[in-house]
Amino acid sequence: MHKLIICGGNDKYGNSEGIQRLDLFRGELYTIVGNTGSGKSRLMKDIEQLADHDTVTQRRVFIDGKQFTWEERQEQSLHFVAHLGQNMRFMLDTTVEEFLNLHAHCRAKEVDTNEIIFQANQITPEAIMPNQSLNLLSGGQTRALMIADIALICDSPIVLIDEIENAGIDKEKAFALLLSKEKLVMIVTHDPHTALMAKQRIVMEAGAIKQVIQRSEKEAAIFEQLSKEYRKQKRLQNAIRNGEGVI
């Protein structure tokens, strides 16, 4: 896969969407912003389902310009798209290491589980151990593990993420890991720092894409300032969590 193509549909009132076509590329980060109820989650669902004029938005979604039959869409959606939700729970009663080995086996891949766990531990301050039960992982540990899993095991080139800020993980390191593996990363966010991480942000309104904004030089400068504050906040968080003084 080289690019994801979204052809505009309608908003919730039947008006034409603000874009006719939007091309998104591998190795790039895109953010999705808008008020609650503006259609952010619906856009993610349309991408996940490879919509073809058969959802409420009437959008069409293509991979490299290819149109799939209904049957192919069910199969190809699982192949092309990985979705990291806000609330993730494991149903499997096994250890972290066994889970990673099982997933790698299902995808016929040879992996170093220690490397995957190492990368996950760069993202979360709570160390994940190989023999730890999946069901005992915290929300932050779970999302960190799945980000590392998606980066190093999962072949899906498109990664959809809902509000990573709520997970208590290092989003800068998480995005860097995914982008280093040439993933096309799209994240729904209400956070200005996260929104400005992307060179392009998709603005939603009334169930439709209102506009796509290119990050300006002034916004890039604001982003650098927010990044410094973010790293300072992370240091303070870690100090407080570890029972250290912050002055």
Q: Does a structural domain hold residue 92?
A: yes
Residue 171 lies in a domain: yes
Structure-token pair, residue 109: 């891949």
**Segment 97-119, tens digit of pLDDT:** 999 999 999 888 888 999 999 99
* pLDDT value at 182 more than 80: yes
Q: What CATH number corresponds to the domain at position 65? A: 3.40.50.300
- Domain-embedded: residue 153: yes
pTM for the model: 0.91
Residue 74 has pLDDT above 80, yes or no: no
Tell me the per-residue pLDDT of 22-73, one tens digit each, with 9 for 90 and over.
999 999 999 999 999 999 999 999 999 999 999 999 999 999 988 788 778 8
Contacts of 28 (CB under 8 A, 6+ apart): 179, 184, 185, 198, 199, 200
- Please name which of 136, 188, 182 lies closest in space to residue 160, comparing C-alpha atoms: 188
Residue 210: inside a domain: yes
Question: What distance in Å separates the CA atoms of residue 141 and residue 136, rounded to the nearest whole number?
Answer: 9
Q: What is the pLDDT of residue 14?
A: 94
DSSP 183: -
Above 80 in pLDDT, residue 166? Answer: no
Strands (DSSP E) found in the chain: 3-7, 21-25, 29-33, 60-63, 81-84, 158-162, 184-188, 200-205, 208-214
Number of residues in the chain: 247
Its domain, for residue 77, covers 3-215
pLDDT at 164: 77
71-78 mean pLDDT: 78
| CA 84/CA 93 separation, integer angstroms | 20
The answer, yes or no, to whether residue 247 has pLDDT greater than 70, is no
